[in-house]
Structure 1
Amino acid sequence: MKVEEGLAEAMAARVADVQAPSTMGGSVRRRHRRHVIRFRVAGRPRDRRPGGGGVPWSCR
């Protein structure tokens, strides 16, 4: 028997009767959404003037 097979059997025996909670999917989606929003905001250009909204002076 290979080491990998023994390890796989041991892991399968350890988690055989374990079930994920029903709220796990929602918490994973919520955490992913926070992560995406954080990096989306961090990636915005930083050269905008406060209150300018990114509109050039000639367009005002």
Structure 2
Amino acid sequence: MIKLLLWLLLFVLCWPLALLALVLYPLFWLIALPFRLIGITFEGLFALLRAVLMLPARLLGGGPRNSN
């Protein structure tokens, strides 16, 4: 009997949270989207800067060496 009461209590407490999550998740995704795009842009920018800065060393023979 106590298990049934606990299940009913869990149902009463959790279904509003589940509905709230269903409503708020798309809104959170829309708010977070610009920050993701900025992160992707900066990641690409830093990769480009690293490639440009490391180019002279790679042309002069630096970098990882193969043991073949």
Q: Whose relative contact order is higher, 1 or 2, with alpha carbons under 8 Å and at least 6 apart? A: 1
| Same fold (TM > 0.5) | no
Scaled by the length of structure 2, what TM-score is found?
0.38
Query: Which has the larger helix fraction?
Result: 2
